[in-house]
């Protein structure tokens, strides 16, 4: 099995080899890990043509998912540089993605357990929990399940303390 890329240089080398083998075109820019990505597996930056990858993708899902996301971002990259339809909605993009075996969607990223929630609301009727960053007006907003009035039960609560 191939060694997993740990640094930006190793990631760039992996992206270049995938580009050459799968697309038969060179990748001449940089691939970088971006720890600030939270909900996506990666992104292609139009301005500088670099590709950013979420390092959690490799940590939680492994090399096969990483390769799928790399192929997805390389579809954006090559089509943009060739002046083709590089957006998700474009037929060129969908066709190239299917031909190369790239991932259509990135797998869901796990929630951050260390995140602090400023406000925790609970429905006293059905016990549904609503963690929020901002205060909400409990006279106006109600439970989405049973339409009962919400109650504020906690301030500055860790996500790991909130059980489903």
The closest of 122, 119, 15, 106 to 57, measured between CA atoms, is 106
State how far the Cα of 2 lies from the Cα of 25, in Å rounded to an integer: 22
3-state secondary structure of 42: strand
10 is catalytic: no
Q: Which residues have CB under 8 Å from 27's CB, separation 6+? A: 12, 15, 16, 18, 19, 20, 74, 77
Of these residues, 10, 21, 65, 73, which one is catalytic? 73
Give the residue carrying structure tokens 């919400």.
Answer: 150
The span from the CA of 151 to the CA of 124, in Å, is 7
**What sign does the dihedral 21-27-28-31 (CA atoms) show?**
negative
Q: What is the DSSP letter of 142?
A: B
What angle separates helix 8-18 from helix 63-81, to the nearest 10 degrees? 70
Catalytic residues, which ones?
Answer: 73
């Amino acid at each position: 099995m191939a060694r997993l890329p740990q640094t930006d240089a190793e990631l760039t080398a992996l992206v270049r080899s995938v580009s050459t083998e799968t697309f038969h075109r060179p990748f001449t820019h940089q691939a970088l890990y971006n720890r600030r990505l939270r909900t996506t597996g990666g992104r292609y930056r139009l301005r500088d043509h670099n590709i950013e990858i979420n390092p959690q993708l490799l940590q939680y899902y492994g090399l096969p998912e990483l390769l799928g996301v790399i192929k997805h971002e390389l579809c954006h990259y090559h089509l943009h540089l060739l002046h083709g339809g590089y957006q998700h909605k474009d037929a060129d993009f969908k066709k190239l993605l299917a031909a190369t075996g790239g991932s259509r969607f990135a797998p869901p990223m796990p929630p951050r357990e260390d995140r602090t929630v400023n406000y925790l609301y609970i429905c006293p009727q059905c016990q549904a929990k609503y963690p929020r960053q901002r205060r909400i007006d409990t006279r106006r907003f109600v439970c989405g399940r049973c339409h009962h009035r919400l109650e504020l039960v906690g301030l500055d609560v860790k996500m790991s303390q909130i059980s489903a």
